[in-house]
């Protein structure tokens, strides 16, 4: 894949990208949300109005605004509006609560937060621990009043509703409320492995460049319609659906929830040409009974899939499979586009934006085809992250000897195809969500009966991982009690499926727990499985704390 010809010459902000598209095709539907269509002109005007409202509410350029919302037009308005005014947006997974939520809001120094009916109670519960929070805007009907203790957080706290975002977009802006192409645009939280989740700082240019790479890979053009049930608080959701459509002048349909049974109905309803998936979504769709009514697509986009299924899926749906490998810090490092002759089992051909190598533990390059750690460095300015917010130590640790270390094992063949082998780090991935083993452990340790805990991945029968915790208790406790503790304090996707009460944990000579030994043991005869317990008879949302 040759380097894009726009890479060196154009240095755009997200707002410039939106305004340019609105000028070219103002009346084309850019986005369908909740079956309501919004044109490119709508995106431009609504985001400008949201930017004016943020400034009117006292948010200054460079300050952080958190988005704790389900996929909705208000999220898009504020996300795009913040980038226009030089305000830093912080999209947060709506499943976060308790300690997880406090950490991300404190770390980002969020001054204004948007919540909705699904998240407002979680905000109420932690607002007293967030002295920097000045404004909470509630989208939709959250029900009930805002408790008085929240008002006591600060004399400046304002609780309002989404109507405050509809101010006149023509309101004059301060001179400093203009974003630069190389200025921070977002803080995106990624899972921590040896500590709390880290805030990845990305610039305007990073977002524009990544969106263009995605649009190029999908070969999007006016008339194309993509479908994705990928939440817009996820980097891949906003990038692959909204920004890629802005780049190409195509349309995106975004649903709040992924439903295996209704996906193809939605595809037919909107005349979709490409489906964007995360995690095991493609395999779930593949497992549906084959039918003469199966849709014919131009592309299916998602994570690398088993090599033996690659061509069979393409043949069934008449499409090309587009895959990408990367991480929030550097995306994408490898790409298979719709016009590429993909190598099944490979994550993609290494990107021209990055110098990608495979190193051993001494940071020496490994021979072609041999497995080792995937490392990279950019070939152009501001096409990967700027560092971890407020955490220079973690940034330096990740960059060693001039290379960013991904923590993933892989190999690159003689043709430059990257094959993902395994995760070097202890993070887990479940249903498309990255999970920090450290954060899971810290929450479990808050139970008064727990002395020590180790969280690790167990391969799931539907792809990716399930979460297991091994617990040493200093007083009697049952797995059911520990599970309820987790449900009350964790995002649903992080709640362990497996719990094992143990007398000891495997350790090395200096006392560090050997997670690889626990992974090798997997599900033992002494492991309690919540899916096989009496709890499994309850509704799924109740079991997982939703």
- Which two structure tokens, joined as six digits, stand for 192? 């921590």
State the CB neighbour count (10 A cutoff) for residue 429: 20
Separation of alpha carbons 381 and 261, rounded Å? 43
Separation of alpha carbons 383 and 204, rounded Å? 9
- 298 Cβ contact list (under 8 Å, min separation 6): 219, 224, 273, 274, 319, 320, 338
What pLDDT score does 16 carry? Answer: 95
Q: Which residue has the tokens 């990305």?
A: 202
Separation of alpha carbons 49 and 42, rounded Å? 10
pTM of the shown model: 0.80
What pLDDT score does 415 carry? Answer: 93
Instruction: Give the long-range contacts of residues 471-477, CB within 8 A, separation 24 or more.
Output: 471/444, 471/499, 471/500, 471/501, 471/502, 472/501, 472/502, 472/503, 472/504, 472/505, 473/449, 473/501, 474/449, 474/450, 475/448, 475/449, 476/449, 477/447, 477/449, 477/450, 477/501
DSSP symbols for 125-151:
HHGGG-TT--EEEE-S---SPPPHHHH
Residue range 442-471: mean pLDDT, rounded: 89
Separation of alpha carbons 303 and 116, rounded Å? 30
Q: Which residues of 258-269 are buried (b: 16+ CB within 10 A; e: fewer)?
A: beeeebbebbee
- All domains of the chain in start order, with CATH: 39-179 (3.40.50.980), 205-423 (3.40.50.12780), 428-543 (3.30.300.30)
Residues 424-441 have pLDDT tens digits of 767 688 877 878 787 888
Residues 246-269 have pLDDT tens digits of 999 999 999 999 999 999 999 999
What pLDDT score does 431 carry? Answer: 75
Task: Give ∠ CA 120-498-505 in degrees, rounded to 5.
Answer: 115
Residue range 203-231: mean pLDDT, rounded: 96
What pLDDT score does 10 carry? Answer: 75
CB 252 within 8 A of CB 76: no
């Amino acid at each position: 894949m040759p380097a894009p010809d726009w890479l060196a010459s154009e240095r755009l902000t997200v707002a410039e990208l939106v305004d340019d598209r609105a000028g070219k095709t103002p009346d084309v539907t850019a986005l369908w949300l909740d079956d309501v269509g919004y044109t490119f002109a709508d995106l431009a005007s609504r985001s400008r109005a949201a930017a004016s409202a943020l400034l009117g509410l006292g948010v200054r350029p460079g300050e952080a605004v958190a988005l704790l919302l389900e996929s909705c037009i208000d999220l898009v308005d504020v996300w795009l509006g913040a980038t226009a005014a030089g305000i830093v947006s912080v999209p947060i997974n709506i499943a976060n609560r308790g300690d997880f939520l406090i950490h991300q809001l404190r770390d980002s120094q969020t001054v204004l937060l948007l919540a909705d009916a699904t998240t407002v109670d979680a905000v109420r519960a932690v607002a007293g621990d967030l002295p920097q929070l000045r404004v909470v805007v509630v989208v939709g009907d959250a029900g009930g009043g805002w408790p008085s203790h929240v008002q006591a957080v600060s004399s400046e706290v304002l609780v309002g509703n989404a109507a405050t975002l509809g101010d006149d977009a023509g309101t004059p802006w301060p001179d400093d409320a203009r974003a630069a192409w190389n200025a921070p645009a977002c803080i995106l939280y990624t899972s921590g492995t040896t500590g709390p989740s880290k805030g990845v700082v990305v610039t305007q240019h990073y977002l524009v460049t990544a969106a263009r790479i995605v649009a190029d890979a999908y070969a999007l053009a006016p008339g194309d319609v993509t479908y994705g049930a990928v939440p817009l608080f996820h980097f891949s959701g906003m990038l692959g659906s909204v920004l890629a459509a802005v780049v190409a002048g195509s349309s995106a349909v975004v649903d709040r929830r992924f439903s295996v049974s209704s996906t193809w109905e939605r595809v037919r309803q909107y005349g979709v040409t490409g489906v964007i998936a995360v995690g095991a979504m493609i395999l779930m769709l593949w497992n549906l009974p084959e039918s003469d009514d199966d849709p014919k697509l131009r592309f299916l986009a998602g994570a690398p899939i088993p090599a033996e299924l690659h061509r069979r899926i393409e043949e069934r749906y008449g499409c090309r499979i587009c895959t990408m490998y990367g991480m929030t810090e550097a995306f994408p490092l490898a790409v298979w586009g719709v016009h590429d002759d993909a190598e099944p089992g490979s994550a993609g051909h290494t990107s021209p934006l990055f110098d990608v190598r495979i190193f051993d533990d001494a940071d020496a390059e490994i021979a072609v085809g041999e497995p080792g750690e995937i490392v990279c460095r950019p070939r152009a300015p501001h096409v990967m992250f700027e560092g971890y917010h407020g955490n220079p130590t973690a940034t330096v640790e990740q960059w060693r000897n001039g290379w960013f270390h991904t923590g993933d094992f892989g190999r690159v063949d003689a043709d430059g195809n990257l094959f993902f082998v395994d995760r070097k780090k202890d993070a887990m991935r479940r249903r498309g969500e990255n999970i920090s083993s450290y954060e899971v452990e810290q929450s479990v340790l808050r139970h008064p009966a727990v002395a020590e805990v180790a969280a690790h991945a167990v391969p799931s029968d539907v792809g990716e991982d399930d979460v297991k915790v091994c617990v040493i208790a200093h007083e009697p406790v049952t797995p059911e009690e520990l599970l309820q503790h987790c449900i009350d304090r964790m995002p649903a996707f992080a709640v362990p499926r497996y719990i094992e009460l143990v007398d000891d944990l495997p350790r090395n000579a200096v006392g560090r727990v050997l997670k690889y030994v626990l992974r090798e043991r997997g599900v033992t005869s002494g492991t309690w499985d919540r899916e096989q317990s009496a709890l499994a008879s309850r509704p799924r949302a109740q079991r997982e704390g939703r």
